[in-house]
Copies of this chain bind each other. A is one copy, B any other.
Amino acid sequence: MKQRPVIRHTGFMMLTNIPRLNALMKKGGFDAVIATCAENVTYLSGFWAMSQWVRRGPQAYALYVGSPEKSSLIINTSLLDLVPDQHPWMSDIRRYGYFQVDFDGTSTPNETYESQKRLFATSSSDSSVEALVAAMRDYGVERGTVAIDEMGITPQCMEQLQEALPNVRFVRSFSLFENVRAIKTLGEIEILRSAARITEGAIEAALSVAREGVTEREMMRKFNAYLAENDTAPVVGCLGFGNRSALSNVQPSDRALRDGDLIRFDVGGRYRHYRSDMSRGAALGEPGEKVRKYYSAVEKGVLRAYDVIRPGLKVSELFDEVVGTVQREGIPHYARSHVGHGIGVDGYDPPNIAASANMVLEEDMVICVETPYYEIGFAGLQVEDMIRVTRNGAESLMSLPTAIRIL
């Protein structure tokens, strides 16, 4: 089996798909790319710039000028302390703004101490844009075409950047980053595999408390606590009992579980910055004939995907195969806008598995294939698997059976 290279720098893994980034930059005629939103900065630089993950507005950028040697991470001075633990592969770190730290000159210097001494000794720019412009100038990017992720930079900063570099043509390129991220590196696949395993464990933990009278909220607490115990942050927790399962984004309520109730999970977390997303159904006792029939239909839709997934398959064909299977197997009127999507540092990487998609599957895409059916007044039935596209077919990242679980 072909092994995609894993680039390591000072012993730490680079998750970025550098060959694909280089190829897409060449194709687009870009002299440099700039990541600005939390997901893309982390993806491109290997650095988790906390403040931009938890708030709107804090600015952090990763600049890539065609090679790892011509790359720079621009962060607020208050985030320098995260550098020693995270070892971002981008070693040219520029800071902006004031943040006070002191140094204990009597202590025995260790790696962290030396790193902080070195970083705080660098000069600080007044603003994020000033630091970015300085880095671009240092790498010779004062004209030409630059792909910039428009999702994280504020409009004010974008204007300042264009004013400071009037000869640079900036092209909005969040979608370029999505396109790079669509094909996973081996390091990413390992993290996604772990994220999937942990999330499955959380579903098991949640189901372990299923009994008459337990509420959606109580069950979700078990789910989230399991994630917490496994270093995973809750992101999407849709959990509904009975006819509440028909609400697509159902958030846990005080609705108590009753005999015969369907339980629908559509859930995911974030583990080492990467997302999980999956769906399973269970029932407390016999759920009834319609639930069994419809669940079986949506399950077969997902299972059909394993038969057809291979590099080169048109995504629109995958859509048709999955939807057609659900229709044939029990829900003749089944209709969907999409039956899945890629997953990575974002919950919806390309491809979007839709009728109108014009991509083809490629090796090392990691995709979620899902077949939700929501019937208000009745129930929501859904199976969703995380699947890696391999050289010859498909590899499931799942271990939980797809069948409805009768409790």
A-side residues, CB < 8 A to B, are 37-39, 50, 54-57, 78-79, 81-82, 84-85, 98-109, 112-113, 116-117, 150-152, 154-156, 158, 172, 174, 217, 221, 224-225, 227-231, 233-236, 243-244, 246-251, 253, 333, 335-337, 346-348, 373-378
Contacts and interface: CB of A to CB of B under 8 A. Distances in A.
Contacts of A98: 337
Nearest to A227: B228
Given A50-B236, A57-B151, A104-B375, 10 more contacts: A54-B347, A55-B346, A81-B248, A84-B247, A112-B244, A150-B155, A155-B158, A217-B231, A221-B231, A224-B233
Contacts of A335: 100
A231 B252 CA distance: 10
Stoichiometry (number of copies): 2
Contacts of A250: 81, 85
A340 B323 CA distance: 54
A213 to B, nearest CB: 18
Contact of A112 (B38, B230, B376): B376
Contacts of A85: 247, 250-251, 253
Contacts of A228: 221, 224-225, 227-228, 234
Nearest to A149: B56
B81 A249 contact: yes
Contact of A78 (B233, B248, B333): B248
B101 A337 contact: no
Contacts of A229: 221, 224-225
A335 B98 CA distance: 11
Contacts of A57: 151, 174
Nearest to A237: B233
Contacts of A375: 101-104
B56 A102 contact: no
B251 A374 contact: no
Given A99-B248, A107-B378, A236 B54 contact: yes
Contacts of A337: 98-100
Given A112-B376, A221-B229, A236-B54, A248 B101 contact: yes
Contacts of A78: 248-249
B373 A102 contact: yes
Contacts of A233: 224, 233-234
A118 to B, nearest CB: 11
A292 to B, nearest CB: 16
Contact of A103 (B81, B100, B104, B376): B376
B56 A376 contact: no
B333 A102 contact: yes
A104 B377 contact: yes
A83 B39 CA distance: 29
A192 B45 CA distance: 35
A172 B158 CA distance: 14
A80 B74 CA distance: 39
Contacts of A230: 221
B235 A54 contact: yes
B151 A107 contact: no
- Name the 6 nearest CB pairs between A and B, nearest first: A107-B377, A224-B228, A104-B377, A104-B378, A81-B247, A225-B228
